[in-house]
Structure 1
Amino acid sequence: MNAALPIRQVEKPWGKDVLPAPFKAPEGKRIGEIWFEPPAALPDLLVKYIFTSEKLSVQVHPSDAQTLAKGIGRQGKEECWFILAAEPGATLGIGFNAPISEEDMREAALDGSIEGLMTWHEVVPGDFFYIPANTVHAIGIGVSLIEVQQNSDITYRLYDYGRPRELHLEEGMAVSKGEVYDLAKWHKRVAAHATETLVDGPLFLLDQIEGRPSAEIAGRYPDALLVIPREGTVRVAGEAIGPGGCGLAAALEDVEFAENGVCLLARACAV
């Protein structure tokens, strides 16, 4: 079995026809997302690259508790974004400038003013944001990022800049929090070669490491994990995987790390 996860390119109206290396968009296609198919050993975690030439829709995701209460299983979605590249002035919309009621949020979604009520955070490479379920958010123009998320396809669009796509106001309003995003709690600025824990549960773990992981970080990954090279090539069960790839390792011992390489390590948590 190959260690490298299969890649799926996803067309999006806000995607790009020219992608950063090593990716290449098919001629005439606008690719917004590169998905790595979740392996059977780690089915609850999805890793993506996202590339934007236009703003994504204003959207929100439910929590596990909310989807379980609806009888559709554990389909909540929390996610995080690691900024790889950003054009000057590129932003992410996360939360609101001031608390907003459900009624006012609904009206703002209908008339398009919701975009102006959100907080748009200017970003640079190395910015990291965790997006809890129920957080209203949107990715702006000119951003390339890695997204690690719960493996769920439930997205409620609240506003889409007039694009002819379905909106989900009723479902979205039922789970949206009209709150200011807690930047101090959910944001980090990560140095290019830093070894740092980015997400410490409760749904998944995510660490950036340079070289081999420390004993402390290694102890967080006793079983199967995903390895996402950012700089340098790693070998997973003997198979070379470079930046732009994602590998499944049955155990950390199966991974050979480049001495000066930088990787992300990820796994889901049992809940």
Structure 2
Amino acid sequence: MLTPVRPCVLKPVPRIWGGSGLGFGPGIGEVWLCEAPLLVKLLDPADWLSVQVHPPHAYALKVEGKPGKYEAWYVLSPGEIVYGFSRPLDLEEARRRAQEGTLDEVLNRVRVAPGQVVYLPAGVVHALGPGVRVYEVQTPSDLTYRLYDYGRPRELHLEKALEVALLEPTPIPPVFPEPVPGGERLLSTPYFRLDRYPLKGRLALRPEAPLVLTLLAGEAALGEETLRPFATLLLEAGEEALLEGEGLLLGASPKAS
């Protein structure tokens, strides 16, 4: 039986670094598409985001009493990001550079292109650059340690960040897409999967696990409803949806432990 339309409610979130490229007005840095079972967002930075790191589960459970954070980006517009360091650092140099404002000199900056997938496991120091809009999927956790913020007057979490950060060059993991019904699997991590579905006419989906489905481009009909970017639906395991139209969708699903 085809599932009825149950759209997620999109939540625009103002940020001091927010741009105006998501269609929700100026200063909107994030649009939350879904919060459970995964947190799925769009990000639109007009300025560099803070350089940050997320703790792994074991550390987060011990120190914060809640799970850590793992995430991935699907790049929507080109630009530059920070991913790890350009050379190994010891703890004292990393601390000194963060305190004196020279950490930027040893960050690894990488050009990214639309359609690229960037996995960000806990421990990887990272930041989004100006104009790099991304779709972000993450475990439903808010644990972020800010390591460096380009002199902006916001709280840093220096010691915790240094306890969990990988202080060495960390290559972006390669992506090897694999076929799945209706599309391709771009990423499979211990915590979530990310699939891409081109819509060319009709697309029938019946996921084996909950699936957060977002229309990134084009237009689709689901029953009597017309979907446009960035419409997001949550399909439960075993529910079936039939979409018709032209466009591109991403689907994020949690991975059973």
Same topology, TM > 0.5 = yes
Q: Report deviation, 1:167.
A: 0.6
Q: In structure 2, do the counterparts of structure 1 residues 63 and 241 end up closer, same or farther at CA, with 3 Å as the change threshold?
A: farther
Q: Which residue of 1 aligns with 2:247?
A: 261
Q: Percent identity?
A: 34
1:178-219 residue CA offsets vs partner (Å, 9 max, x unmatched): 121223x24579xxxx943222121001111223679xxx68
TM-score (norm 1): 0.83
What's the counterpart of residue 69 of structure 2? 77
Q: Distance in 2 between matches of 1:269 and 1:100?
A: 34
The Cα RMSD (Å) is 2.5
Pair 1:239–1:66, CA change in 2 (3 A): farther
Q: Pick the aligned partner of 2:198 from 194, 210, 232.
A: 210
- The CA distance in 2 between the partners of 1:72 and 1:240, in whole Å, is 43
Match of 2:244, SS?
coil
2:32 to 35, 48, 52: 35
- Partner amino acid for 2:9? P
* 1:92 aligned residue: 81
Q: What whole-Å deviation, never above 9, does each CA across 1:127-174 have from its counterpart, x for those lacking one? A: 211011010011111111111111111111111111111110011111
Within a 5 Å distance, the mapping from 1:144-223 to structure 2 comes to 144-183=133-172, 185-186=173-174, 195-211=183-199, 221-223=207-209
Superposition deviation, residue 239 in structure 1: 4.2
SS of match in other structure, 2:92: helix
Contact 2:37 2:210 in 1 (8 A): no
Task: Supply the distance in 1 between the matched residues of 2:21 and 2:217 (Cα, whole angstroms).
Answer: 18
CA distance in structure 1 between the partners assigned to 2:184 and 2:45 by the alignment: 27
Contact 1:234 1:255 in 2 (8 A): no
Runs of 4+ deviating beyond 6 Å? none
Q: Write the deviation string for residues 76-135 of structure 1: whole angstroms up to 9, x where unpaired.
A: 11111111113xxx2000001112112211111112221121111112212211011010
Mapped to 1, the partners of 2:175 and 2:236 lie a distance apart of: 30
What's the secondary structure of 2:47's corresponding residue? coil
- The CA deviation string for residues 2-32 of structure 1, in whole angstroms up to 9 with x for no partner, is 611111111111112x324xx221xxx5111
Taking structure 2 as the reference length, the TM-score comes to 0.87
1:251, distance to aligned residue in structure 2 (A) = 4.3
Higher strand share: 2
Give the distance between the partners of 1:131 and 1:71, measured in 2 at CA.
20
What displacement does 1:250 show?
A: 2.4
